[in-house]
Amino acid sequence: MPNWDQGSWDSGSYDSPSTTSFLPQSKRRTPRHTMAANPTPDDDDVLKALAEDLADGCHLHEVATGIKQNTEAVIRAAITQYEAMKLARGQAEQILDQRVAAHQAADAAGATVLKNCRLRLVKLFGGQFNNQWLTAGWPNNTTAIPTTQDGRFSLLGGLKTYFTATPASESVDMEATAAICTTAHSAISNARNEMNTSDTALGAAKENEKSAVRTLRKRVRGLIDELGTVIADDDPRYGDFGLNIPALPVAPEPITSLTATPVAGSKVHLQWTYSTRMAGTRLQKKVIGVDTDFVSAGTADGLEKTLAGFTAGQSVVFRAIAYNDGGDANPSPEVTVTVT
């Protein structure tokens, strides 16, 4: 057996210690078939589900097999970190959505102020653009309210300066004053700053999630490769880790649950549960009154997919089939949905 205390691991792969050639050496098992029979999932949800199975397998066999590096504790820590970073990214997205909505509301309020100010200036300058409009800060040789958020924000700043310098042009009754423009301009500025801060925070949260996924993927691949060095390719204990037996690959377990939800645009969103040993999913559909049998609706690496190309009012039956190099599982339970 390899001497795990003398070897070293880097990025989840084992480097054996240097040996003297004239000493008798035990034959080290190599994971020749492990990679092909048990590829590392590309989809994050599938990766996490496999990691859970691998941790369960470590709980049962870690000591007996001599797993030293990618232990249950290490795998579960990577899962926990990934879950925390995924949650943090979701929370950052929600905060950004709130900040964007707040900015839009401030911009809409600012647009109302601009309308009132425009009506006031029409009384003073007339409806046609002239140098007086330009002095008041109105851009682009037109008296129209700018169509962009940046344009409206800039014009509010110009009007704030104009009414401050020429208070005789203000009208409290028409709600066109320096104070009103200042309040609207400040509200948009604050909302914009908060939105930009939240956008930066979301970027950092996404990077943290990506880092956690990379760590989890390294640990998953590391454990699969480590198993290939400590147990034989035909060892049935691979099954307890949620893996295919490299020398005897078999099809995945069937998908046990499939849901179909109609979404806008005559589309249907499908979601299904992870099945042990799955490498991917074949999706099938049958449009009632059109198809006599199931036809392909594509494949997926993950656990959800939105399908398009339907007609509103159609009733469609779906099923999902997990697959790997060992073959296809039995189909999932069928689900029927009416397209909206």
pLDDT in tens, 297-318: 999 999 999 999 999 999 999 9
**Whether residue 179 has pLDDT greater than 60:** yes
Among 202, 222, 248, the domain-final residue is: 248
User: Environment class of residue 302 by beta-carbon count within 10 Å: exposed (0-12), middle (13-18) or buried (19+)?
Assistant: middle
**Whether residue 14 has pLDDT greater than 60:** no
Among 248, 272, 305, the domain-final residue is: 248
Structure confidence at residue 30 as a pLDDT band (50, 70, 90): very low
Same domain, 189 and 58: yes
The first and second tokens of residue 314, run together, are 């159609």
CA dist., res. 109 & res. 124, Å (int):
23
**Whether residue 206 has pLDDT greater than 80:** yes
Same domain, 197 and 321: no
pLDDT of residue 37: 82
Same domain, 65 and 209: yes
pLDDT tens digits along 41-53: 999 999 999 999 9
**Whether residue 273 has pLDDT greater than 80:** yes
**Whether residue 27 has pLDDT greater than 80:** no
Assigned domain for 156 exists: yes
Assigned domain for 165 exists: yes
Counting the structural domains of the chain, the total is 2
pLDDT tens digits along 54-94: 999 999 999 999 999 999 999 999 999 999 999 999 999 99
The first and second tokens of residue 13, run together, are 């792969």
Backbone angles phi, psi at 116, to 5 degrees: -65, -40
- Domain span holding position 263: 258-338
Q: What is the CATH number of the domain that holds 287?
A: 2.60.40.10
pTM higher than 0.85: no
